């Protein structure tokens, strides 16, 4: 994020805030964690993670906890549609 110019950095923060609002409303998240990890993938990417007390990784970090479980196709499409509506895209 430190390599972004002021305008792009501000836009990134606003987009992260928008994603956080969606996750709080859609997933009922009590808190949102933001993480920018670039050890494996070199390009900038920001993780916006919904957290709740008692989630499987609580109170530790979500990184490296558990195994990835893919969404069923119908669930994935419903979540994508909800995110598009919630984010106005």
User: Mind listing the pLDDT tens digit for each residue in 50-67?
Assistant: 999 999 999 999 988 889
Q: Is the dihedral of CA 6, 12, 15, 17 positive or negative?
A: negative
Domain range for 76 is 6-87
Q: Kindly state whether residue 25 falls inside one of the protein's structural domains.
A: yes
**Separation of alpha carbons 38 and 73, rounded Å:** 29
Q: Kindly state whether residue 18 falls inside one of the protein's structural domains.
A: yes
Number of domains into which the chain is organized: 1
Q: Kindly state whether residue 61 falls inside one of the protein's structural domains.
A: yes
Q: Kindly state whether residue 1 falls inside one of the protein's structural domains.
A: no
The pLDDT of 8-24, averaged and rounded, is 95
The pLDDT of 30-52, averaged and rounded, is 88
Please tell me the predicted confidence (pLDDT) of residue 89: 87
Residue 71's alpha-carbon distances to 46, 60, 79, in angstroms, are 21, 23, 9
Q: Kindly state whether residue 71 falls inside one of the protein's structural domains.
A: yes
**Separation of alpha carbons 16 and 84, rounded Å:** 14
**Separation of alpha carbons 35 and 45, rounded Å:** 9
The structure's pTM equals 0.84
User: What is the CATH classification number for the domain harbouring 29?
Assistant: 3.30.428.10
**Separation of alpha carbons 53 and 19, rounded Å:** 20
Q: Kindly state whether residue 22 falls inside one of the protein's structural domains.
A: yes
Q: Kindly state whether residue 41 falls inside one of the protein's structural domains.
A: yes
């Amino acid at each position: 994020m430190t390599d972004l110019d002021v305008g792009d950095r501000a836009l990134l923060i606003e987009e992260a805030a928008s994603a956080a609002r969606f996750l709080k409303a859609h997933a009922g998240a009590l808190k949102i964690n933001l993480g920018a990890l670039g050890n494996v993938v070199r390009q900038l990417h920001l993780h916006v993670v919904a957290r709740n007390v008692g989630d499987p990784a609580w109170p530790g970090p979500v990184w490296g906890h558990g195994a990835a479980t893919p969404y069923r196709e119908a669930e994935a499409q419903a979540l994508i549609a909800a995110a598009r509506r919630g984010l106005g895209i």
